[in-house]
Homo-oligomer: A and B are copies of this chain.
Amino acid sequence: MQVSARGEYAVRIAVTLAQGHPRTISASSLAAAQALPRKFAEVILGDLRRAHLVDSVRGVEGGYRLARSPEDVSVGEVLRAVDGPLAEVRGRRPEETSYEGAAVNLPRLWVAARAAVRSVFDEVSLAQAATGEFPLRIDELTAADDAWTPR
């Protein structure tokens, strides 16, 4: 589950927009607030706009705002807008995989993995991510002591 720089930046931007909602915020302000390269932030905001996750206003006093209310936009949507699908196996969707021999059962495993990822990113809204009041499921996942240790 690699989250790219684009993905990370996009979520940080989106969460900042959520916190300021419904004010519009300029790309420069967003970039400054999260310490990101301004031009790169513009590119990412373009992606979010084309995915209809944010609206933009041009000109002086212009900027970006969430197209929907922060409780209504999931982190998963933001990630999909800038990187593609949440889960892929060798560039294919999990349910499109198919194997012979000992590997025949792997598609079920890939689908399960995707479902697990969705159960986090699609169940957390930008509002929750901004306030830190996550769903119970998330608290349970992070509660296990080894959740915070690398493997």
Contact = CB atoms under 8 A, between A and B. Distances in A.
B130 A112 contact: no
Copies in the complex: 2
Interface string A1-14: 11111011001100
A73 interface: no
Nearest to A97: B8
Contact of A106 (B15, B20, B85, B149): B15
A90 interface: yes
Contact of A80 (B16, B113, B129, B151): B151
A148 B54 CA distance: 29
Given A86-B151, A101-B34, A117 B118 contact: no
